[in-house]
Structure 1
Amino acid sequence: MQTILVADDHPMFRAAVLHALREALPDGRMLEVASQSAVEAALADEAVIDLVLLDLAMPGAMGFSSLVLLRGERPEVPVIVISSNDHPRTVRRAQQFGAAGFVSKSAPVGALGAAVHEVLAGGSWFPAEKAERSEDDATLASRLAQLTPQQLRVLMLLAEGLLNKQIADQLGLAENTVKIHVTAVLKKLDCRSRTQAAVLAKSLDLDESP
């Protein structure tokens, strides 16, 4: 029995996805969450997850940060991004940041089932038309891949402008531990300041243009 985690904060869309999944995988086990913190809780609680269907615009996430963190935390678990932002650049960035597939929220219902079967079989599923590869995003993905999941969390909170003490409170860490993480993040990302690291993290956000 395969376990599928559906991460989307819109109840009606989540229900539609779950219905489509049950049609495609009648014997599958479906889990649903509505925020980044709930995604992380599910990853901690579930020893085996075979696939994640991930919305990019959930509470607690900054664009592709959820995808990058998920790939760092559980690199063996394939991720299909499901998003209403299906601009070619968004699709290409999803692929460069480690997604195994991309399905637009405006796609026919059958596309989701086809994508799920393809990715579970070890393949990938992306629209035929997507933007050209970006060397900037490739470099960013490579730099972020050096960070541990906890360092990624610290980076995302840095991007929100939080101080070390506030980050420590958010993550349940000692302030000195946060300082160590911040130092490691700056070194690995080749950033001279917290501000520079924050700007880098914010580049993970989604383009507003359609």
Structure 2
Amino acid sequence: MTTGQRVLIADDHPLTREGLSLAARAALPGSVVDQAGSIGEAQAAIASRRSGYALVLLDLMLPDAKGFSGFLALQHAAGSTPIVVITAREDSVLIDAARALGAAGYLFKSQPIDTIAQRLRTILSGTPVFPSDGEAGAVATARERIATLSGAQLRVLLALADGRLNKQIAGDLDISEATVKAHMTAIFRKLGVNNRAQALLAVQPLLGDAGSERHA
């Protein structure tokens, strides 16, 4: 792959986009990553790029989309550009629908960033990637990991999921920033991740249900 190619990430959570951007750059070194928080923003980005995108990563649960309406809209706008559904929804019906509608892949946000990157490389080589039966347990795995968190750690994690910074979390929870950092360190260790973006991706399978209610 040559440098200068572009990847478009359509997801309405900034930290999730950050994590997916890391995966996209690892999969396509030298690429430029554009971000959109809605289908409308993604359509505008596609329309503004005459040279097009090498890849589009799409969360199904965007505010201005229902079901696969956003996918179909971007598919129409992007032409032959491969579109990868990346979501917290581990539903065999959705997986089958994505495959039938021509998605280039269906990836789970709960997967480690290096795994997502490896699968994006496979997709970029022309091979579709869809989950195996053994990967459908990511929700249960995320639930088990969250169960190991203390109440204070869980409150910090939920604040993190809302996109708050350490200083904001400290103020909202009436604790010091040093305590927030200590909780973050423990959370990363228990979730088996290295940073905030990876932590958010690791628990997205559980946060996804709440997100679907917000977007309904």
Q: Which residue of 1 aligns with 2:39?
A: 36
What amino acid does structure 1 have at the position aligned with 2:47?
A
SS at match of 2:84: strand
- Establish whether residue 113 from structure 1 lines up as the match of residue 113 from structure 2: no
What amino acid does structure 1 have at the position aligned with 2:61?
A
Native 8 Å contact 1:6 1:14 kept in 2: yes
| Dislocated runs of 4+, deviation >4 Å | none
For the residues of structure 2 that align with 1:108 and 1:27, how far apart are their CA atoms?
21
Q: Which residue of 1 aligns with 2:174?
A: none
Taking structure 2 as the reference length, the TM-score comes to 0.57
Structure 2 gap ranges (5+): 135-211
Native 8 Å contact 1:81 1:94 kept in 2: yes
For the residues of structure 2 that align with 1:76 and 1:63, how far apart are their CA atoms?
21
Q: Which residue of 1 aligns with 2:193?
A: none
For the residues of structure 2 that align with 1:111 and 1:88, how far apart are their CA atoms?
20
- Establish whether residue 49 from structure 1 lines up as the match of residue 32 from structure 2: no
For the residues of structure 1 that align with 2:55 and 2:10, how far apart are their CA atoms?
11
Native 8 Å contact 1:82 1:102 kept in 2: yes
Deviations for 1:160-185, whole angstroms, at most 9, x for unmatched residues? xxxxxxxxxxxxxxxxxxxxxxxxxx
Identity %: 34
For the residues of structure 2 that align with 1:17 and 1:53, how far apart are their CA atoms?
8
For the residues of structure 1 that align with 2:63 and 2:26, how far apart are their CA atoms?
28
Q: CA deviation at 1:98?
A: 1.6
Q: CA deviation at 1:16?
A: 0.9
Q: CA deviation at 1:25?
A: 2.5
Native 8 Å contact 1:34 1:58 kept in 2: yes
What amino acid does structure 2 have at the position aligned with 1:105?
K
What amino acid does structure 2 have at the position aligned with 1:54?
L
The correspondence of residues 128-143 of structure 1 with structure 2, limited to 5 A, is 128-129=132-133
Q: Which residue of 2 aligns with 1:159?
A: none
Native 8 Å contact 1:103 1:111 kept in 2: no
What amino acid does structure 2 have at the position aligned with 1:23?
A
Q: Which residue of 1 aligns with 2:203?
A: none
For the residues of structure 2 that align with 1:29 and 1:122, how far apart are their CA atoms?
20
**Could you say what the CA RMSD is over the residues aligned between the two structures, in angstroms?**
1.6
The correspondence of residues 65-84 of structure 1 with structure 2, limited to 5 A, is 65-84=69-88
Q: Which has the higher helix share?
A: 2
SS at match of 2:106: strand
SS at match of 2:12: coil
State which of 87, 95, 100 in structure 1 corresponds to 2:91: 87
Structure 1 gap ranges (5+): 131-205
SS at match of 1:13: helix
Q: Which residue of 2 aligns with 1:9?
A: 12
Native 8 Å contact 1:81 1:103 kept in 2: yes
The correspondence of residues 95-106 of structure 1 with structure 2, limited to 5 A, is 95-106=99-110
For the residues of structure 1 that align with 2:25 and 2:46, how far apart are their CA atoms?
21
Q: Say how many residue pairs are matched.
A: 131
SS at match of 1:85: coil
